[in-house]
Amino acid sequence: MKNERRMSVAGIDVGAVSAKAVVLREDKIAGSAILPTGYDVAKVAKEVGGLALAQAQLQMDDLRYVVGTGYGRRAIPFANEVITEITCHARGATSVIPEARTIIDIGGQDSKAIRVDAKGNVVDFIMNDKCAAGTGRFLEVMSRALELSIEEFSSLSRMGPNPCKISSTCTVFAESEIVSLRAENKSREDIIAGLYRSIASRVGAMVKQIGCEDVVVFTGGVAKNKALLRALEEEIGHRILVPGEPQIMGALGAALIAARRNHCE
Amino acid sequence: MYGELLETCGYTSKEIDKELPRVKRALDKAGLTEADAKRAQDRLVRYFQCGELKGMRLLVGSWFKEFVDLMLSGEEHDIRIYCELPFLTPPLIAAAKLARPDIHTAYESFYLFFVLGAFFGRVERLIEAGENFCLPPGVAHCACNQLKMGVRRVNFLPRASLVVSTGLYCDEAPKADELLEYYFGERVAYINRCQDDEPGGPLIQERPLMYTRENIDRCRRTMSEVIGREITDDHLMQAIMCSEELSTAIEEITELRVKADPQPLRIVPYQLLVYGNLMSVNLDRHDEKMEMVRVLHGELQQMVKRGEGVIEKGTPKVVISVGTPLASPDYGMMIEDAGLNICCLESYGSGGALIDTGERRRQISAMDPCTILAAVYLTMPLVSNFRVRIECITNAYRKANLDGVLMIPHYSCRVLGNDSMMVKDGVKKELGNIPLLVLEGDYFDPRYYTAEQARTRVESFAEMVRSERRVAA
């Protein structure tokens, strides 16, 4: 047990919407956790790390190395190093699906397309972090406009046959468009289908810019949405794989980098 | 507080005693308080290395003096010639002042963007004044144009006797300058060019060269009429030679920056140096500027000798196209702190000097001064065409053995915004899959793009470049 503790490391990914933690023991996932980010980044990092450690039956002192990532990465007080989420998502996704060459990550407030080489190194990426359209937050706002919970919204996997045209690329204006569409008695399913198309077209354009290469992997919490997955596949013309727990890929990648640093020391 | 600011701007005690009343009057006219002066002093130390480098204090001082002169030009001069962005033939304006030394010549927008924007962090209100007046936000109006409308609308500056405008590069600027005539009755002289170069032909082509030359000569005649003195070929040649002398001196610092590791001079102060020459429309301080470059070069050489730098040794080196946002110095600093050494500008691939060495110099040495100005203008990478820009970036990348290319297109500029996507594709085609990052930015308006917004992308890019380096090793 003492030796195992020496080999324990963690990755903490504090995103704009949720904080994730992965604890690795001897390069295997020993614990993981997800919490809403909230206001206090340092506090949530500690809490989410604590939950993952509890699952792994370890304590903070047992960790040999911690890598922080995500928007809140620089506010994680116990991180030994900070790495961006782009590098971490690439590392996490390729550890689960080694054949991955293109990674799509849709997080709470940004979306990114990453191209990696056979060793999981990032060779190109693109990211939209100026506007919330095409992100998890976009879906949240739209579900509210449609009077659905995000869970209900996401579970509507059967899309309408006549997708509405949602022309706006701005979250706020898209919400107004939905109000207009509702006034025209368009069905929820058709509106949702239109929204998925809108996101798929936005994210698809980013993927095309970096050059889409098989195998394509979808990470981030939004990857659990099957209807969006299908819309994206249709848009980019490639089959897309989703890891078992897509939301923790950033934290996993951070933990894997931590493990490598620990081995090097 | 004003005295401390002037010390940071490299003024001697004697100069402070003499200039303080003028400086106070100028800052008062600009609506700047003692608190603003303190803020500017802090920013000059933080972003422009004025704490450690005397050469930088002298450089920011030369900009500050131009700003003070500009603010007081209504009291001190009867004739004022302003050139408006994008205007890139400063010797033409400098020649007017050689012909008649009592006039005031200014690159008005640039003085305001650098001094009021980058030094004081207070340029937004003038841009907003332009927006509220006649060039609303959200319709791709460049802040250059909004600013020049704003300063006139709120009577920030005295009216110009003549505004020199160019349609050589940007079509929106001369359209906006028509409004200067329409609303404020300012006379405007336009310099145009024809854009239809023979594709694949030589860099300097006869027809566009002669057309531009004629436009420059016509502008010279208009300026002569306004100032009531003839601007001769000798005046023009003298201005051109001063510009070349300064360019050549700056070029030595450029070479030093490209090779130095660790990097002793950050990109933000370096850009101020380069633009300081590009914007030289007043040769009264030419000797001061030459001395400033000499001092700065000497200090940087000493730092290199001692192995000192402001960016960590071994940091990946990149070329930037076209530059970091000028009115937001924190943006450039963030890029460097995130792990990139921006060791050269796109223009480095062209040789960088206003009059390039080699073949081009031989080609134009026999020309008359208006033709020289036309040739220089038409061969500047940014102005010529996107193929030349691709060539410059690839040359810089190869020549300086760089690790990547960083592009920050000026998004509210139709020319640069469009061009940059073509340039990006062209560079990738020439250099293969090298690390290349495109960031959004605005050179002049500090409101829309912040350093923090871009931080994750820059840090990711730096991580990617370091990883490629490891793979290559």
Q: What is the pLDDT of residues B78-129, one digit of tens each?
A: 999 998 876 667 899 999 999 999 999 999 988 999 999 999 999 999 999 9
Spatial CA neighbour of A139 closest among A156, A126, A164, A114: A156
Q: How far is it, in rounded angstroms, from Cα B189 to Cα B208?
A: 19
Tokens of B355: 């009059």
Whether A7 has its CB under 8 Å from any CB of chain B: the answer is no
User: What is the CATH architecture of A99-242?
Assistant: 2-Layer Sandwich (3.30)
Q: Helices H, strands E: what count in chain B?
A: 21, 8
Among candidates A84, A86, A129 on the partner chain, residue whose Cβ is nearest the Cβ of B453: A129
Question: Is A127's CB within 8 Å of B453's CB?
Answer: no
Q: Is A82 helix (H, G, I), strand (E, B) or coil?
A: strand
What residues contact residue A252 under an 8 Å CB cut-off, 6+ apart? A11, A22, A29, A32, A88, A91, A92, A95, A96
- Give the residue carrying structure tokens 């004025």: B50
In one-letter notation, the amino acid at residue B422 is: M
Q: Among A85, A121, A127, whose Cβ lies nearest the Cβ of B467?
A: A121
Q: Give the N- to C-terminal CA distance of chain B in Å, as an integer.
A: 53
Are B433 and A83 a contacting pair at CB < 8 A? no
The answer to whether the CB atoms of B464 and A83 lie below 8 A apart is no
CB contact under 8 A, B460 and A84: yes
Assess contact for A121 and A91: CB atoms under 8 A. no
Give the whole-angstrom CA distance, residue A136 versus residue A239. 21
Answer yes or no: are the C-beta atoms of A139 and A109 closer than 8 Å: no
Q: State the DSSP code for B114.
A: I
- Residue B117 has what DSSP assignment? I
**Is the bond preceding B423 in cis, omega lying within 30 degrees of 0?**
no
Q: What is the pLDDT of residues B215-274, one digit of tens each?
A: 999 999 999 999 999 999 999 999 999 988 998 899 999 999 999 999 999 999 999 999
- Give the closest of A84, A117, A124 to B456, CB-based: A84
- Kindly tell me if the per-residue pLDDT of A1 is higher than 70: no
The answer to whether B433 contacts A123, with C-beta atoms less than 8 Å apart, is: yes
The pLDDT of residue A41? 93
Nearest to B437 by CA among A131, A84, A264, A34: A84
Cβ–Cβ contact A210 with B under 8 A: no
Please name every residue paired with B320 in a beta bridge, in sequence order, or none if there are none: B345, B406
Q: Say if residue B362's pLDDT is above 70.
A: no
CA angle (B222, B226, B228) in 5-degree steps: 110
**Which pLDDT does position B140 carry in this prediction?**
64
Rg over alpha carbons for chain B, rounded to the nearest Å, is 21
- Contact yes or no for A121 and B471 at CB 8 A: yes
Query: If you average pLDDT over every residue of chain A, what do you get?
Result: 89
What was the pLDDT predicted at B455?
92
A86 and B453 within 8 Å at the Cβ level: the answer is: no
pLDDT average, residue stretch B314-318: 96
Determine the residue of chain B that is closest to A118 in CA distance: B471
- The region that residue A107 occupies, defined by phi over 0 for left and psi between -120 and 50 for alpha, beta otherwise, is beta
Q: Rounded distance, CA A166 to CA A201, Å?
A: 11
Neighbours of B232 (CB within 10 A): 15
Task: Please indicate whether, in this complex, the C-beta atoms of B468 and A125 are within 8 angstroms of each other.
Answer: no
Q: Exposure of A201 by Cβ count < 10 A (0-12 exposed, 13-18 middle, 19+ buried)? A: middle
Strand order in the sheet with A111-116: A122-128, A111-116, A102-106, A216-219, A240-241
Contact B464 A127 (CB under 8 A): no
Residue A164 is classified by DSSP as -
Contact A181, A191 (CB under 8 A): yes
The rounded percent of chain A whose pLDDT value lies above 70 is 94
Residue identified by tokens 């819309």 is A231
Token duo for residue B288: 């001061």
Candidates B430, B386, B369; CA nearest to B405 is B430
Which residues, in sequence order, are CB contacts of B121 under 8 Å at separation 6+? Answer: B39, B40, B43, B446
Res B299: pLDDT: 98
Q: Which residue has the higher pLDDT, A17 or A240?
A: A240
- Number of CB atoms found within 10 A of residue A25's CB: 20
Give the chain B residue nearest A127 (alpha carbons).
Answer: B457
Please report the pLDDT score of residue A23 as a whole number: 97
- Same CATH topology for A2-87+248-264 and A99-242: the answer is yes
> Which residues are within 8 A (CB) of A2 and not within 5 positions of it... i.e. 6 or more apart?
none
Nearest-CA neighbor of B131 among B115, B151, B112?
A: B151
Question: What is the predicted pLDDT for the residue at B354?
Answer: 36
Specify the residue for token string 């921006």. Answer: B342
Q: What is the dotted CATH code of the domain comprising A2-87+248-264? A: 3.30.420.40
The CB density around residue A265, as the number of other CB atoms within 10 Å, is 8
* Contact at CB, A84 and B453, closer than 8 angstroms: no
Q: How confident is residue B352, by pLDDT bands cut at 50, 70 and 90? A: very low
Contact B338, B458 (CB under 8 A): yes
For residues A258 and A10, the answer to whether their CB atoms sit within 8 Å is: yes
Percentage with pLDDT > 70 across chain B: 95
The pLDDT tens digits of the residues spanning A199-244 come to: 898 899 999 989 999 999 999 988 988 889 999 999 999 999 999 9
Cβ contact (<8 Å) for A127 and B471?
Answer: no
Instruction: List the single best residue of A82, A86, A89, A110 to mutate versus B (max B Cβ within 10 A).
Output: A86
Per the CB < 8 A criterion, the answer to whether B81 and B160 are in contact is: yes
**Ramachandran area for residue A254 (φ above 0: left; ψ -120 to 50: alpha; else beta):** alpha
Identify how many contiguous H helices and E strands chain A contains and give both numbers: 9, 10
Domain ranges across chain A: 2-87+248-264, 99-242
- Judged by phi (left if over 0) then psi (alpha if -120 to 50, else beta), residue A68 lies in beta
Please give the pLDDT value at position B88. 67
User: How far from B137 is each of B101, B111, B169, B357, CA to CA, in Å?
Assistant: 39, 22, 22, 42
CA distance A110 to chain B (A): 11
Do residue B460 and residue A87 have CB atoms under 8 angstroms apart? yes
Residue of A nearest to B433 (CA): A123
Task: Please report which confidence band the pLDDT of residue A141 belongs to, taking 50, 70 and 90 as the band edges.
Answer: confident
What mean pLDDT comes out for the span A158-187?
Answer: 81
- The closest CB to that of A122, out of B440, B456, B467, belongs to B467
H/E element holding B439? none
Work out the number of other CB atoms within 10 angstroms of the CB of residue B105.
Answer: 33
Cβ contact B309:B261 at 8 Å: yes
Residue-level pLDDT at B364: 60
Q: Is A220 left (phi over 0), alpha (psi -120 to 50) or beta?
A: left
Say if residue A150's pLDDT is above 90: no
Least confident span in B25-39, B251-265, B358-372: B358-372
pLDDT band at residue A2 under the 50/70/90 scheme: low
Token pair of B190 as six digits: 């336009």
The minimal CB distance from B459 to the residues A84, A117, A119 is found for: A84
CB atoms within 10 A of CB B286: 17
Nearest to B83 by CA among B414, B377, B405: B377
Check residues A73 and B169 and name the one with the higher pLDDT: A73
**How close, in Å, is residue A1 to chain B by CA atoms?**
34
Q: Which residues of B touch A123 (CB under 8 A)?
A: 433, 464, 468
CB contact under 8 A, A125 and B453: no
- B39-84 pLDDT, tens per residue? 999 999 999 999 999 999 999 999 999 999 999 999 999 999 998 8
Burial class (CB in 10 A: 0-12, 13-18, 19+), A230: middle
Q: Which of B427, B456, B466, B471 should one mutate to test binding to chain A, selecting the residue with the greatest count of A CBs within 10 A?
A: B456
Distance from CA of A159 to the nearest CA of B (A): 34
Q: How confident is the model at residue B357 (pLDDT cuts 50, 70, 90)?
A: very low
pLDDT tens per residue across span B381-434: 777 778 888 989 999 999 999 999 999 988 788 777 778 888 999 999 999 989
> Is A122 close to B464, i.e. CB distance below 8 A?
yes
- Judged by CB atoms closer than 8 Å, whether chains meet at B463 and A122 is answered as yes
Does the beta carbon of A87 lie under 8 angstroms from any beta carbon of chain B?
yes
The per-residue b/e assignment along A124-160, b for 16 or more CB within 10 angstroms, e otherwise, is bbbbbbebbbbbbbbbbbbbebbebebeebbebeebb
| Candidate from A68-77, A134-143, B115-124 with smallest mean pLDDT | A134-143
Using an 8 Å CB-CB cutoff, list chain B residues near A86.
456-457, 460, 463-464
User: What does DSSP assign to residue B253?
Assistant: H
Give B182-202 as a 3 state SS string: HHHCCCEEEECCCCCCCCCCC
Q: What per-residue confidence (pLDDT) applies to B355?
A: 41
Give the whole-angstrom CA distance, residue A120 versus residue A91: 6
User: What does pLDDT average to over chain B?
Assistant: 90
